[in-house]
Amino acid sequence: MNVQNPIRPGVATGAIPGSRKVHQVGSLWPDIRVPFREVAVHPSANEPPVTLYDPSGPYTDPAIEIDINRGLPRTREPWVVSRGDVEIVSNPRQVRPEDNGGASGVHLAPAFDTPRRVYRARSGATVTQLEYARRGIITPEMEYVAIRENLRRQASDPTLRDGEDFGAAIPDFVTPEFVRDEIARGRAIIPANINHTELEPMAIGRNFLVKVNANIGNSAVLSTVADEVDKMVWAIRWGADTVMDLSTGRNIHNIRDWIVRNSPVPIGTVPIYQALEKVGGVAEDLNWDVFRDTLIEQAEQGVDYFTIHAGVRLAYIPLTAKRVTGIVSRGGSILAKWCLAHHRENFLYEHFEDICEIMRAYDVSFSLGDGLRPGCLADANDAAQFAELETLGELTRVAWKHGVQTMIEGPGHVPMHKIKANMDKQLEVCGEAPFYTLGPLTTDVAPGYDHITSAIGAAMIGWFGTAMLCYVTPKEHLGLPDRKDVKDGVIAYRIAAHAADLAKGHPAARAWDDALSRARFEFRWEDQFNLGMDPETARAYHDESLPKEAFKTAHFCSMCGPKFCSMKISQEIRDAAAAQNDVAEGMADMARRFRDGGGEVYVPTGVPTRE
């Protein structure tokens, strides 16, 4: 339907410096190959390599040739088909001009042209991971996730548990059965549309590693297809676990096709954005038919989770009238406008069971949107926000009844002392369905730095139990993120997520920090760079101070210079202490013995005491 030449967007490929892609195969499902990022350390360390979680997909695997025009390998397709409960859609929905906002000619983004089959559940079937889990079935997706969460630790490995988990139930070792049980009780989800067979499955749940979502997407103002695919690949390269395509302008359909076909991570969308586009941007003209059509369009494309703002009920809208910043969710405000204009209950709330019926036929997961989230500290934890949250709890139970996987979106802007109440209330009213929060931002006063204002809140709410953190970039409130902003946002949120895992005492979390700290103490500079979240930046910063290669093995830091190096002195102390044979013995005794013997600590050990 499009005669333009296919685009060839450039995306970043190749391994992260110092890392290599490794795989672990399944036991129950021997054809699954779970990817990890392995960082080897210098032989002098006499340590095994460090295994890191790796959502970056085939792009960081030199063994795989990337062709954006073909899309990623459809590895999951046999898994989906072999379950015997799906059918090929003989008459998939055809793309219509309004799907791309009426774009035409040179303004129409090229279609993704590589053909594929479209699947849906056989009549009456529920093809969700939740349904399988309830039936006691461990799917390949579940074993994949179990292997992935263990980071190549073995069940027999010693486990360090040091944290406060606020009542979570993180196991020492994740078994496929544990995953199945968490999915069955709704405490975790594996967003995995049967039409997104390029997916490398991942889990979102309080008892798994904390995940990070990155938002991309064009707008009526800015951005192109190539930029968005590039941003998706860039976001997962630095650690985004899922990506939401929040496009709102033209070409929504075609951009999404390119993204889904090339994405190894779950893709989320907010279908109301495209539905609104289809009715010319007039909120009052939205209706169930156009929304339903959009759900099917996107479910057939392979979108893994939908933000549905069904909790913005008519009765809650007046609760926002005296807020400082009213309704700041785009979806929330669109629906509020619809409700007010018609003076009717939100049609997404009224059609919620119809929506469930569609989503369970493709295993699209709910991300129940917090359309009434606070947009500033003054509005945090107010009546509107918590009224909606209670409705999201009610809708969670409806979704579960229909077998649809569900997570819950959360705020927003919240001062530190009001963060925990959000988590506690969510756990209480939503039956431990995974919480998925935007930040929260802990102050309103730093536009340009909201990746930091919000990383503070994100780390805390992640610690308290949030399963996935939606990143905020430095451009928040100011503009659409570019490539640099995407990376800055993802890394700030990887920091928050990992800090949360550490504080929860996740047994797979601390080994990474300890390996890097040992490298730091032993002046293994290359190891310190390679083990860092961003090896390129760490190396570049070190090079600014000490650019010479020789300094990469120097036994001092660029901060202090050789004479004052605390790490160096500290190593001498350790050596000296070790030479005493009994470190645990009281120092007073040691000193007396030394004084008695006229001893000089460094003389007998031969450790140099001067530079």
318-377 residues in contact with a second copy (CB under 8 A) are 318, 320-322, 324-330, 332-334, 336-337, 340-341, 343-344, 375-377
For the chain, helix (H) and strand (E) counts, in that order, are: 21, 15
Residue 452 within binding range of a second copy, rule CB under 8 A: yes
Cβ proximity to a second copy: between 3 and 321 the closer is 321
Among 545, 553, 555, 604, binds a second copy (CB under 8 A): 545
Cα distance between residue 192 and residue 199, in whole Å = 7
Q: Provide the 3-class DSSP secondary structure of residue 343.
A: coil
Residue with tokens 């970043």: 12
Residue 455 within binding range of a second copy, rule CB under 8 A: yes
For the chain, the first-to-last Cα distance in angstroms comes to 73
Q: What minimum distance in Å lies between the beta carbon of 482 and a second copy?
A: 7
Cβ proximity to a second copy: between 114 and 609 the closer is 609
CA atoms within 13 A on the CB side of 555: 8
Say if CB 211 and CB 468 are below 8 A apart.
Answer: yes
Helices 225-237, 483-504: axis angle to 10 degrees equals: 30
Q: What minimum distance in Å lies between the beta carbon of 304 and a second copy?
A: 23
Please count the other Cβ atoms lying within 10 Å of the Cβ belonging to residue 212: 29
Residue with tokens 């100011």: 478
Residues 64-93 that bind a second copy (CB under 8 A): none
Cβ proximity to a second copy: between 71 and 532 the closer is 532
Among 11, 45, 89, 567, binds a second copy (CB under 8 A): 567
Cβ proximity to a second copy: between 119 and 273 the closer is 273
Residues 486-505 that bind a second copy (CB under 8 A): 491-492, 494-496, 498-500, 502-505
DSSP for 205-220, please give it: ETTSPPEEEEEE---S
Q: What minimum distance in Å lies between the beta carbon of 368 and a second copy?
A: 18
Contacts of 84 (CB under 8 A, 6+ apart): none
Cβ proximity to a second copy: between 111 and 460 the closer is 460
Is residue 91 packed enough to be buried (19+ CB in 10 Å), middle (13-18) or exposed (0-12)?
Answer: exposed
Q: What minimum distance in Å lies between the beta carbon of 396 and a second copy?
A: 23
> Which part of the chain contacts a second copy (CB under 8 A), choosing from 15-23, 86-94, 150-158, 529-537?
529-537
Residue 521 within binding range of a second copy, rule CB under 8 A: yes
Residue 518 within binding range of a second copy, rule CB under 8 A: yes
Among 516, 523, 524, 527, binds a second copy (CB under 8 A): 516
Residue 6 within binding range of a second copy, rule CB under 8 A: no
Residue 461 within binding range of a second copy, rule CB under 8 A: no
Q: What minimum distance in Å lies between the beta carbon of 328 and a second copy?
A: 5
Among 398, 444, 526, 552, binds a second copy (CB under 8 A): 444
Q: Provide the 3-class DSSP secondary structure of residue 408.
A: strand
Q: What minimum distance in Å lies between the beta carbon of 220 and a second copy?
A: 3
Cα distance between residue 341 and residue 337, in whole Å = 6
Among 292, 351, 520, 552, binds a second copy (CB under 8 A): 520
Q: What minimum distance in Å lies between the beta carbon of 206 and a second copy?
A: 16
Cβ proximity to a second copy: between 112 and 238 the closer is 238
Cβ proximity to a second copy: between 89 and 387 the closer is 387
Q: What minimum distance in Å lies between the beta carbon of 207 and a second copy?
A: 17
Q: Which of 149, 151, 130, 129 is nearest to 140 (CA)?
A: 129
Residues 243-302 that bind a second copy (CB under 8 A): 248-249, 273, 276, 281-284
Residue 243, beta-bridge partner list: 214, 267
Say if CB 430 and CB 189 are below 8 A apart.
Answer: no
Please count the other Cβ atoms lying within 10 Å of the Cβ belonging to residue 505: 17
Q: Which of 563, 587, 530, 507 is nearest to 168 (CA)?
A: 507
Among 537, 553, 555, 604, binds a second copy (CB under 8 A): 537
Tokens read off for 351: 């059609």
DSSP annotation of 410: E
Is residue 83 packed enough to be buried (19+ CB in 10 Å), middle (13-18) or exposed (0-12)?
Answer: middle
How many binding residues for a second copy (CB under 8 A)? 143
Cβ proximity to a second copy: between 431 and 599 the closer is 599
Residues 569-598 that bind a second copy (CB under 8 A): 569-574, 576-578, 580, 583-588, 590-591, 594-595
What is the total residue count of the chain? 611
Residue 216, beta-bridge partner list: 245
> Which part of the chain contacts a second copy (CB under 8 A), choosing from 118-126, 181-189, 348-356, 457-465?
457-465
Tokens read off for 144: 């994949």
Residues 405-434 that bind a second copy (CB under 8 A): 413, 415-417
Cβ proximity to a second copy: between 69 and 571 the closer is 571
Q: What minimum distance in Å lies between the beta carbon of 592 and a second copy?
A: 8
Cβ proximity to a second copy: between 262 and 381 the closer is 381
Cβ proximity to a second copy: between 68 and 170 the closer is 170
Residue 548 within binding range of a second copy, rule CB under 8 A: no
Q: Which of 361, 216, 214, 354 is nearest to 299 (CA)?
A: 361
> Which part of the chain contacts a second copy (CB under 8 A), choosing from 58-66, 109-117, 171-179, 512-520?
512-520
Cα distance between residue 251 and residue 110, in whole Å = 9
Please count the other Cβ atoms lying within 10 Å of the Cβ belonging to residue 416: 12
Q: What's at 130, amino acid-wise?
A: L
Say if CB 175 and CB 146 are below 8 A apart.
Answer: yes
Cα distance between residue 309 and residue 218, in whole Å = 21
Cβ proximity to a second copy: between 121 and 499 the closer is 499
Residues 184-223 that bind a second copy (CB under 8 A): 219-222
Cβ proximity to a second copy: between 437 and 453 the closer is 453
Residue with tokens 């047994």: 507
